[in-house]
Amino acid sequence: MVKKKEVILGVTASVAIYKACEITRRLRDQGFSVSVVMTKEARDFISPLLFASLSANKVYGDMGYDPQAWEIEHVSLADKADLVLVAPATANIIAKAACGICDDLLTCLISATKAPVLFCPAMNEGMFLNKITQANIKKLESLGYGFVQPRKGGLACGKVGVGCLAEVETIVKEAVKIL
């Protein structure tokens, strides 16, 4: 039996989080296994139960110690990943990754994996175009991390600008290209 390629989908707290559901479904339709890692803030937006149903896999969240498990979760997830896809990727997760901050399961996983990492930013235009965010993106790109750039469109703040999560089809196409 051929092992399915494993996509670890990192989900962060953005209004675009609902599109991560469609990304999960589309990747599964393409024959990939999808495991979802949600930040604490993402779990305030949407229930992990929805991602568990869509992915047919356990949804991971907090780092914690499970005396029944011998695996270190962030390392075992990092090892099984063929791709770590962070969609939506907030300015916060991009900054933490650029600085090597490992204070939750997703940032530890990003730091530990040898698999390609693909960030899909989604945020307010001011945040996206901020010099610090742009410097963090350039730094990560120089280190070999990939990005699917956001598009111009209606933002959660009611304005139109650059910062909308790329179209689901574009994200899935880029993920498949890497896999």
Catalytic residues: 157
Backbone angles phi, psi at 110, to 5 degrees: -60, -40
Q: How far apart are the C-alpha atoms of 65 and 59, rounded to whole Å?
A: 16
| Residue matched to tokens 């997703």 | 106
Helix (H, G, I), strand (E, B) or coil at 12: coil
For the record, the structure tokens of 3 come out as 């092992």
99 closest CA partner among 111, 89, 90: 111
Helix (H, G, I), strand (E, B) or coil at 84: strand
Q: How far apart are the C-alpha atoms of 174 and 83, rounded to whole Å?
A: 11
